[in-house]
Each structure stands twice: as structure tokens, then as C-alpha cells.
């Protein structure tokens, strides 16, 4: 209906907004504004088994690929991926722990507002999941996505891979998008060359992801909304940078004498 943060920001920056349903708990009534690629009622409980099967993973990654391809065909010059999910900071932390081989305590944060007890419970859940699936499985980025990822994280990874293959720059959002970016880079290291990083999220684990990806985020505003809102917020600054790069006169052109 246009009231979400990313809906407002997309209108403001003149971006096309595409909404994809990958896994609401209940089936939705058909809506012209939503592309329905529902793969199930959310992912499975990754403390009890894999979050998704191989078929669901492939369909999720293909949903992201097709989104990037539609953007390219529409003439997009920059791709932003965001998410709106339930519990997906936990899934992002699990993917990050698996790929970085780090303890959940340094990657689990409050998400949408957990207190200290809630964060401790989150850490324990993550440890149980990591023990169940094993480091040897979680070090493989595709298997890591399947076992502890979310449909949206897998879809973003598929989109990022497609963008890199097509030569379309990517503006990575916050913690969850960066977990997808890390998986993407582990699958295809060359994809990193096509990634720009929009902002440093308030989620504590994002700092580790930024470091692992050798990223230098454009903004550091303590944002944590998700939805690609941080990426959309950074777009005007990137546009200004491009205008300066393309149109500002050099010292030589402006006949300015450099100081010695």
C-alpha cells in the first residue's frame, strides 16, 4: 500500500520497487503489487534440521536471479536488495557464524529489540544449530544457505550473483543483506568487485561482516530497519559523488595553481 519505509524511500529516489513473497506463513490473496514465489510457510526450524531442501534453495536463488534480470532489462544501473522477515537476524547470524567460523556471541544482536536475556537465548539457539549442522557443512556457502539461511537471504545471494555476472553494480544494505553478500563472495569471489556497501548497521555483528568483506560503508547512522532502507538512503550521496566525478573541473581545467 506504499506505507513501508522502503516504499517511501523508493518514491523519493525514483527507484522501481519490486516486492516478492518468498514464504509468508499463510498464502496471500493475489495482489498486483506483489510477485508470489511462495516456497512454503517460512523456512523449517534449523535447530531440528536444514532450513530448506535443495529444491527450495534453488528456487529461492533463482527468484533473486530473475529479479536482477528484470531490473537489467528495465535499464537499471544499480541494484538494491532488502528484506522484511521474521527472525531473520538469527538466520543471518547463523550464516555468518558458519562462513566466518566465529562464535554466535560476537554475531548475535538484539535484532528488532531483544533484551539481554533474549540475546542470550538467541546465542544458545545459534550454538545448537551450528553443532547440529557441523562446521564442515557450514563452511560450504551453498550448503550453509540451505541449512541455516532464509529464503530471502538465498534470494539476495542469487540476485547478487546475477548482478555480478551481468556487470550491474550492487548496493548492499545492512546486516542481513551483508550475510547474503558474504555467501555470494564465497561462492564467486569476483562478485565482490561489483559491490558497494551502503551503511554500517546498528546490529553488532555487522562490523565483523564489513571487515570480512573489506568493505567501507558510505553511511554510519545507526540504522536497523532493513528493507534496503539504508541502501536507498545512500543513493542520493552516490549520485552526488558521480556528478562531482563527471562534472567538477580539475585544478588544471579551472586554472588553479597548486600550492607547493
Q: Which of 83, 143, 227, 253 is catalytic?
A: 227
pLDDT digits (tens, 9 = 90+) for 169-187: 999 999 999 999 999 999 9
Residue 227 falls in the annotated catalytic set: yes
Average pLDDT over residues 147-164: 98
Spatial distance between the Cα atoms of 57 and 2, rounded to a whole number of angstroms: 29
pLDDT digits (tens, 9 = 90+) for 87-103: 899 999 999 999 999 99
Higher pLDDT, 231 or 111: 231
In the block, residue with C-alpha cell 521474521: 86
Spatial distance between the Cα atoms of 228 and 20, rounded to a whole number of angstroms: 14
The pTM assigned to this predicted structure is: 0.94
- How far is the first Cα of the chain from the last one, in angstroms, to the nearest whole number? 59
pLDDT grade for 191, boundaries at 50, 70 and 90: very high
**Of 101, 67, 97, residue with least CA distance to 82:** 67
Note the residue count of the chain.
260
Amino acid at each position: 500500500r506504499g506505507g513501508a519505509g522502503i516504499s517511501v524511500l523508493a518514491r523519493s529516489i525514483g527507484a522501481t520497487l519490486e516486492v516478492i513473497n518468498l514464504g509468508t506463513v499463510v498464502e496471500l490473496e493475489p495482489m498486483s503489487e506483489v510477485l508470489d514465489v511462495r516456497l512454503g510457510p517460512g523456512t523449517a526450524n534449523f535447530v531440528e534440521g536444514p532450513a530448506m531442501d535443495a529444491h527450495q534453495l534453488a528456487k529461492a536463488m533463482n527468484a533473486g536471479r530473475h529479479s536482477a534480470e528484470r531490473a537489467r532489462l528495465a535499464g537499471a544501473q544499480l541494484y538494491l536488495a532488502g528484506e522484511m522477515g521474521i527472525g531473520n537476524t538469527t538466520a543471518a547470524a547463523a550464516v555468518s557464524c558458519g562462513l566466518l567460523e566465529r562464535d554466535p556471541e560476537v554475531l548475535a544482536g538484539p535484532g528488532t529489540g531483544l533484551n539481554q536475556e533474549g540475546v542470550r537465548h538467541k546465542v544458545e539457539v545459534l550454538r545448537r544449530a551450528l553443532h547440529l549442522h557441523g562446521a564442515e557443512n557450514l563452511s560450504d556457502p551453498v550448503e550453509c544457505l540451505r541449512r541455516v539461511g532464509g529464503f530471502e537471504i538465498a534470494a539476495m545471494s542469487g540476485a547478487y550473483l546475477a548482478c555480478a555476472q551481468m556487470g550491474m553494480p550492487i548496493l548492499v544494505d545492512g546486516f542481513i543483506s551483508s550475510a547474503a553478500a558474504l555467501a555470494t563472495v564465497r561462492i564467486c569471489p569476483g562478485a565482490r568487485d561489483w559491490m558497494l556497501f551502503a551503511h554500517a548497521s546498528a546490529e553488532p555483528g555487522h562490523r565483523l561482516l564489513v571487515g570480512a568483506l573489506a568493505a567501507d560503508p558510505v553511511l554510519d547512522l545507526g540504522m536497523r530497519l532493513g528493507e534496503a532502507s539504508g541502501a536507498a538512503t545512500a543513493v542520493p550521496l552516490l549520485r552526488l559523488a558521480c556528478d562531482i566525478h563527471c562534472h567538477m573541473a580539475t585544478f588544471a581545467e579551472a586554472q588553479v595553481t597548486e600550492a607547493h
